[in-house]
Amino acid sequence: MIVLYGGPTPNARKIGVALFEMELAWRLEPIDILAGDQLTPRFLALNPNNKTPVIIDEDGPGGRPLTLWETGAILLYLAEKTGRFLPEDPTRRAICWQWLMFQVSGIGPMFGQEVHFTHYAKDQHPYAIARYSREVDRLLRVLDKRLGEAAWLAGDDYTIADMATLPYLRRQLSEKAGRHPHIERWAAAMMARPAVQAGLQVGVARPEVIEGGLRGFTDEHRSILWGERQHAAR
């Protein structure tokens, strides 16, 4: 059994997609980041970096439990554990790693900053909004070009690189419909997969987040996520 600690975030949902695709036995241990669950001693014992998701594989290497955080590491671990969604050919495997790292080092952080400064920041900073909005558009162009050349990010094979990327694109595709036809073709192919549909439902979105219209989002939430409570010594 694998325990997934997380909630309704793109990072937790991409692990959910992988767990469903790989047909692994797992359960969700909800972590409410708006309530500060990630700052508790219990959670910090799992991940001192206080970020979700975290997995515990109760049947890890050698039959011993393994606790793992960082989504790129989790996805690679699960793919190697099951022997699925990671190409065997060394060249294709390296290309899969490349696009996975593109997601964890580019798509995730830059899209996250764009969301922060555009929607969540109390003070609106035009420079920051423009800087990250332009970077999101640039990264979307990179993805669209790649998916105009190949069926999937790693080439002919559907892999963990695709699973990692889609959860971050759903809002952008909705708001920019028609601008990235190759991404839209790829996203439609992914959404036709039952495991993807199920994985994207991990966690129940609260009204305080974008999907809920930011209703009730407060300075206390900002403190937990980015302010005094987030940065308090522990």
What tens digit of pLDDT does each residue of 101-130 get?
999 999 999 999 999 999 999 999 999 999
pLDDT reported for residue 174:
87
pLDDT tens per residue across span 169-180: 988 998 999 999
Report whether 164 contacts 19 (CB < 8 A): no
From residue 23, alpha-carbon distances to 5, 14, 18, 26, 69 in Å are 18, 14, 8, 9, 20
Report whether 195 contacts 167 (CB < 8 A): no
* DSSP-H helix ranges across 45-89: 71-82
pLDDT average, residue stretch 216-220 = 95
pLDDT tens per residue across span 58-68: 999 999 999 99
**Residue for token digits 């699973």?**
163
pTM of the model: 0.96
More confident residue, 72 or 205: 72
Start-to-end CA span in the chain (Å): 31
The continuous run of DSSP H or E covering 151 comes out as none
Report whether 171 contacts 210 (CB < 8 A): yes
Residue 212's pLDDT band, with cuts at 50, 70 and 90, is: confident
pLDDT reported for residue 234:
81
One-letter identity of residue 203: G
Using a pLDDT cut of 70, give the percent of the chain over it.
100
From residue 22, alpha-carbon distances to 57, 68, 84 in Å are 14, 17, 7
The dihedral formed by the CA atoms of 149, 78, 191 and 214, expressed in degrees to the nearest 10: -110
Average pLDDT, the chain: 96
The continuous run of DSSP H or E covering 16 comes out as helix 10-21
Q: Has residue 211 got a pLDDT over 90?
A: no
Domains delineated in the chain: 2-84+198-231 (3.40.30.10), 90-194 (1.20.1050.10)
Exposure b/e, 50-72, CB count within 10 A at least 16 = b: bbbbbbbbeebeeeeeeebbbbb
